[in-house]
Structure 1
Amino acid sequence: MTREDGTIAAEKVTPRQYDRWPEDHRADVEIADGRAVATAVPSARRRRAARLIANALDAAGGSEWNADVAVEIRLTEAPLTVRRPDVVVYRADALDAAPMHADQVLCVVELVSSNSLATGRIVGVHRYAQAGIGHYWRIEWSATGVPVACAYDLDPASQVYQEHAIQSGLVHVTTPFPVTINLTQLS
């Protein structure tokens, strides 16, 4: 049963317990500091946007990098923290990794809606930085419905993301690798 704060159970989940959960149960849950938290099912528009971004990143990543949607990333073991960003760029040799760990991930992309602003702007970005993921992108929709990409690169010394680019329309970025994404396809 889901509690008012979104957690599913009061007791903390260990990696061993989580690994025994059926895959279909894990698909609807993220783990934050050992607590299971129910996640909302993405809308058709959000799933399409994630797929279009993943396709562009996958093509640009060449043979070294893959990009996929809804990949489960284990950020920490104790306390267990598992996130499932909208798009993940990861090492091609980690395709069959189960679980996927942060050191196999190059970039995460979160599609942020009005009900997930705090997670996208503060909580998620902080957790990805702490885990050492080199690049973080946040896609937000402006009040007029225009998607805006905010790209960040991790400063290894401070473990804090530094803004790399904020763009809309036809987005051109050079990190984590050169890629052009047409955000107008997402609206």
Structure 2
Amino acid sequence: MTALPDWMRPPRPEGWLAVDLDRLPEAPRHTELIDGALVFRLLPQRAWHSRVIFTVQRSLTAQAPSNIVIYSGMTVRLDEHNRPEPDVLATTAEYDPDRTWYAPEDVVLVVEVVSPESAHRDRTVKLTKYAQAGIRHYWRVEDEGDATAIHVYELDDATTAYAPAGIFRERLRVAAPFPIELDVPGLVG
């Protein structure tokens, strides 16, 4: 059995904290913190996944009002034990060149592009955590084999859970968090 490198050992008995992610230069890119545990994306990313992220980010950037900026590769600090990295996020936070994460109150939309490795987290864990943190809009993009589908959710304030707002396979049109229109098959075509 191979010994773990020292940097992989939690610095405290209760595990990792959100602040610790900024102190792990040896960690692989796209390391997330879920319930105090480090989550690594170690499998190669499929071309479908990469293309959808790029196209969604580019499309949202082109349609976003001037007070909303679109990013990929940034984490959201939900609380001290959770700092997931959505595939794409929309934020109202001011630009800070040294920023490594966003607060949930500054995030108006998170988009997760589902891969076999992330399916459970994207469909259940992150769905619940983003809602409980108060992020108003959540999209989950799925590869259905013969089509791409975007599952759109909006936060229900009464339950602090997401309510389904539609599944889009052809043309996505939504009014919130800002007016957005996407050609869903065009995300990969």
Q: Which residue of 1 aligns with 2:109?
A: 107
- Give, in whole Å, the separation in 1 of the partners of 2:52 and 2:115: 12
Alpha carbons of 1:93 and 1:114: their partners in 2 closer, same or farther (altered >3 Å)? same
Report what 1:133 is aligned to: 135
Is the partner of 2:132 in helix, strand or coil? helix
Deviations 1:12-50 (A, max 9, x none): 11344333222x626231111111121245333312211
The alignment's C-alpha RMSD in Å is 2.3
Q: Which residue does the alignment assign to 1:86?
A: 87
| 1:168 partnered with 2:169 | yes
Conserved 8 A contact 1:9-1:36: no
Q: Deviations over 1:63-122 (max 9, x none)?
A: 010111121111111xx2111111101115245433311111000001113443211211
**Aligned equivalent of 1:72:** 75
SS in 2 for 1:158: coil
Q: How far apart in 2 are the matches of 1:170 and 1:62? A: 20
For residue 2 of structure 1, report the CA deviation from its aligned partner. 9.7
> TM-score, with normalisation over the residues of structure 1?
0.85
Which structure has more helix as a fraction of its residues?
A: 1
Q: Identity over aligned residues, as a percent?
A: 28
Structure with more of its chain in strand, by fraction: 1
Which amino acid is the alignment partner of residue 44 of structure 1? A
Runs of at least 5 residues in structure 2 that lack an aligned partner in the other structure: none
Task: Give the 5 Å matches for 1:20-99.
Answer: 20-22=23-25, 25=27, 27-40=29-42, 41-77=44-80, 80-94=81-95, 96=97, 97-99=99-101
User: For 1:52 and 1:178, how far apart are their aligned partners in 2?
Assistant: 17
